[in-house]
Each structure stands twice: as C-alpha cells, then as structure tokens.
Chains A and B, each alone.
Chain A
Amino acid sequence: MLDISPAEWTAVLLSLRVGLVATLVATPIGIATGWLLARHQFWGKSALDAAIHLPLVLPPVVTGYLLLLTFGRKGLIGGWLADHLGIVFSFRWTGAALACGIMSFPLLVRPIRLSIEAVDRRLEQAASTLGAAPWKVFLTVTLPLALPGVLAGMVLGFAKAIGEFGATITFVSNIPGETQTISAAIYTLTQTPDGDAAALRLVAVSVVISMIALIASEWFARRATQRLHGT
C-alpha cells in the first residue's frame, strides 16, 4: 500500500499510544465528573463546568503554556511529581498524553454527562429497593445504561487526542520518537523541502485512523442502543 518509512511509523505509533493512554486514563475521571455534573448540585458546580470546558475555548498554545508552568520540571506540580515520585512530563510522551487528555476532556465528558442524565432514575430506585447499595446501583444500572454515551465520549476524546497539536507542541515540543505525534510530524514535513510525499502519507494514515474510530463508535452505539431497548 503506502510506502511508510520507519520514522513515519514511529510518529503514527506514538500518536496511537498517546491517544490511547490519554483516553484510557481520562475515561474513569470523565465518568466520575459526568456523574457529578449530571446528578449533583453543589457549590462551585458552574465553576467546575467552566474549568472543564476551558481547553475548548482557550487557544491551545495557552493551555500548553499553562501546562508547562504547572507540570514542567520546575512547575509547582511537575516539580513535586519529579522529586517525589520520579514522574516527569516535560519533553516526554507522557506529557503529550497529559496535554491530549486535558484538551480532549470536555469532548469526553459531555456525552457521558448527557447519557447519565438520560438514565431513568426510577430504574435506579427499583435497584435500590432490590437491595443494591448506591455504588452497586451505579455499576449495575446507571453505567450500563449510559454506555453508549461513554463510548461516544471515548471515541470523540480519542479522535481529539490523536489530532491535538498546539498544546502538545508547546508543552513537550516536537521530539521525534518521544513527543512527535502525527500532527507534529506533518507540520515538520510541511516545513521541509521535499516533505510533501511523506506528509501526504501521514495525512492518509490519520484519515484512516479517524474513519476507523468513527465507524467503531457507530457500531458500538448501535449495539448498545439495541441492548438498552431490551430487544
């Protein structure tokens, strides 16, 4: 098919790894956040909601720079993590995953929140009268019924994470093999003489990945919906 060079493969695999890790780590946090926003009234709820959506409206460069300030080697959180736990984000692929996770978080949370809001609370009541403690009600009724939204959120979040550019390049730079994702690689290639062919190959790969993600999400959503209607 396409004659993809090892260097290009590296960027593709790194993107997939960054996207997957970002999505898998962000999903449980996204479910907890979606549940909190859907089912609870608390002081500062609007502020939390706004903070989650901030990466969607802020210029990505700003988010990346803020990440550098907080999670960088000398940052408040980044310094502590590096000194005490040996976890370093700056100029590492883990930092790219962090940036992608934060940038994609609003897209991940929204469908989860909406689908939890849509779960019939009368079913949750029925479960509690049948002896299910609140956390069991959540795991056996709320979450399974909200599954289409969770999957939709994961796919959206993954797609966003794969394509993230501005925050990632600002936070962790553009290091081949470490932080150079597909987007960053394409950008570099467009700045390089004779880079067009390689750039086009990577464009084709990212189109294929996005298409597969979309088709997969459609398929999951259809199956989940069938399950939910009990047929």
Chain B
Amino acid sequence: MLRVDVLKRLGDFTVEVKFTAAGRVTGLFGSSGAGKTSLVNMIAGLMKPDRGVIAIGDDVLDDTAAGIHVAPHRRRIGYVFQDARLFPHLSVAQNLHYGRRMNGVADDPARTRRVVDLLDISKLLARRTGQLSGGERQRVALGRALLMQPRLLLLDEPLGSLDGARKAEILPYLIRLRDEAGVPMVYVTHDPNELRRLEAEVVVLRRGRVAALGAAESVLADVTPQLVD
C-alpha cells in the first residue's frame, strides 16, 4: 500500500496532496500543471517534499519530521518516463538489463523471457535505441523498469508522446502488465479513457490539490478530456 501525504512549494505553486493507494492501478489524473509529475518525482525520490510522509507499506521512504529521505537508487521503484529515456549508448538488451545489473540481481532467463514476451520485444533486443519507433521505445522502457523487479511502478504519461494508433498499440500491454506482472502501478495521465480502460482507482488533481478520489468509472463519469484541458 502506497501512502502519500506531502507538501512541496515550487515557486508560487504548491503541491499539497494526501492519499493512500491499495489497488493494482492508481491513476493520477489532471490537466498539465496540476502537479502530477512533481508528485510522481517525489514518490521516486527525485524530488524532496518540503513536508510530509511517503511510505510503501511499513517502509518509510520520506518522513521530513524524522529526517528520512531514501535516495532514488535505494527505493526499488520503477519509473517509466513520458520520453522513455533509454540509454542511447546501450543496445536494447543492455537497456533492459541495466536495472537488474545495478541492483546486483542475478540474471533469471525465465523471468527475462516472460517480460520480453509480455511486451513483445524479442525482435528488438539486438537493436540500438535510435532505431526504435516511439511505441517500441515505450515498451522497452516498460521492460527495463519491470526487470529491476520493482515493488511499485510509476508511469508518467507513458502514452503521452504517442499518436492515437500507437496508444491503441500500447494500452493492451499495460492491461496485461496490470494482470500478469503483479506490480502495483501509479499511472499519470490527462486522458480519462486510459484510466477507464485500466479500471484504475483515481486521484484527481487540480492546481496541486486532490479534487476527487474514487473508481475511474464514477470519478471520471462526467469528465471529458476537453473540459480538463
């Protein structure tokens, strides 16, 4: 279970968010500038809250009152960025194994095969990252995050840089991920349809604060992308 209760000032903008997430997919929903990415960066440890607590189960990652801030590389939280951020000097296979190597985890070929099959990237392994399409890049980024064996997966608008057809291509993989990988996900988006498809528990953010909480179907019932943007 993910527990977030943080405050962060960014210039004259303040993110002040409190929620707990126990479901398989937690959606962070809101227009751009609502504070979604700042919040995810805090969960990943890339940004330090001014005040508050972030914890997974009993494991406290941030507690400003107790002076706790666990460094990003010690959190074991997978992060899939909107822009994939694959390492250009490494092959696809080397990218996939990067997290596993950095964490000193022995190679488990069966596990690797499962992830590669799940994301359908076996044909890409020998390629350089510059030769991948946008959708392929996101699938490799997902695989890279999964293979580090995270206890939580953060996805920051993973479909944000893709066109409609590519989105339709990736969404089924995300649904399979939800059902088969067994890793809880925090999914950031400004597209309510993605959250409906993923049947997410949704936290609606507006100007840095929680505006609503609940199941995608009910919370997003009357929200359309046009109104949000």
Task: Name A's B-contacting residues (CB within 8 A).
Answer: 122-123, 125-134, 136-137, 140-141, 144-145, 227-231
Cα distance, A82 to B126, chains bound together (Å): 55
Contacts of A228 on B, CB cut-off 8 Å? 88-89
**Other A-B pairs beyond A130-B78, A133-B71, A230-B88, 19, CB < 8 Å:** A122-B85, A125-B72, A126-B85, A128-B71, A130-B102, A131-B73, A131-B76, A132-B73, A132-B102, A133-B102, A141-B87, A145-B88, A145-B89, A227-B88, A229-B130, A230-B129, A230-B130, A231-B128, A231-B131
* B173 sits at the interface (CB 8 A): no
B interface residues (Cβ-Cβ under 8 A, vs A):
44-46, 71-79, 81, 83, 85-89, 98-99, 102-103, 128-131, 144-145, 148
Instruction: Determine if B46 and A129 form an interchain contact, defined as CB atoms under 8 angstroms apart.
Output: yes
Separation in Å of the A143 CB from the closest CB of chain B?
Answer: 10
Supply 8 A–B pairs (Cβ within 8 Å), ascending by A.
Answer: A122-B81, A128-B71, A131-B73, A131-B76, A131-B148, A133-B102, A140-B102, A230-B89
Bound CA–CA A125/B78 (angstroms) = 12
- List B contacts of A129 (CB < 8 A): 44-46, 72-73, 75, 77-79
- A130 touching B88, Cβ below 8 Å: no
Closest to A231 in B: B130
**Min CB gap A155→B, angstroms:** 20
* Chain A residues positioned under 8 Å from B87 (CB to CB): 123, 126-127, 141
Residues of A with C-beta under 8 A to B85: 122-123, 125-126
Which residues of chain B are near A130, meaning CB under 8 Å?
Answer: 73, 78, 98-99, 102-103, 144-145, 148
Q: Which residues of A contact B76 (CB under 8 A)?
A: 131
| Chain A residues closer than 8 Å to B74, beta-carbon distance | 131
With contacts A141-B87, A145-B88, A230-B128 known, is A128 near B148, CB below 8 A? no
Q: Nearest Cβ in chain A — how far from B43, in angstroms?
A: 10
Q: When the two chains form their complex, are residues A126 and B102 in contact, meaning their CB atoms are under 8 A apart?
A: no
Q: What is the bound-complex CA distance between A137 and B131, given in angstroms?
A: 24
**Which of A122, A123, A144, A230 has the largest count of B CB atoms less than 10 A from its CB?**
A230
CA distance A125 to B75 in the complex (A): 13
Q: Top 5 A-B pairs ranked by shortest CB distance?
A: A230-B130, A130-B99, A230-B88, A126-B85, A230-B129
Q: Are B131 and A128 in contact (CB under 8 A)?
A: no
Collect the chain A residues with CB atoms within 8 Å of residue B72's CB: 125, 128-129
Q: Closest approach, in angstroms, between the C-beta of A103 and any C-beta of chain B?
A: 32
Q: Are B86 and A128 in contact, with the CB atoms below 8 A?
A: no
Complex Cα spacing A132 to B76, Å: 10
In the bound assembly, the distance between CA atoms of A141 and B79 in angstroms comes to 17
Contact check, A230 vs B131: say whether CB atoms are below 8 A apart: yes
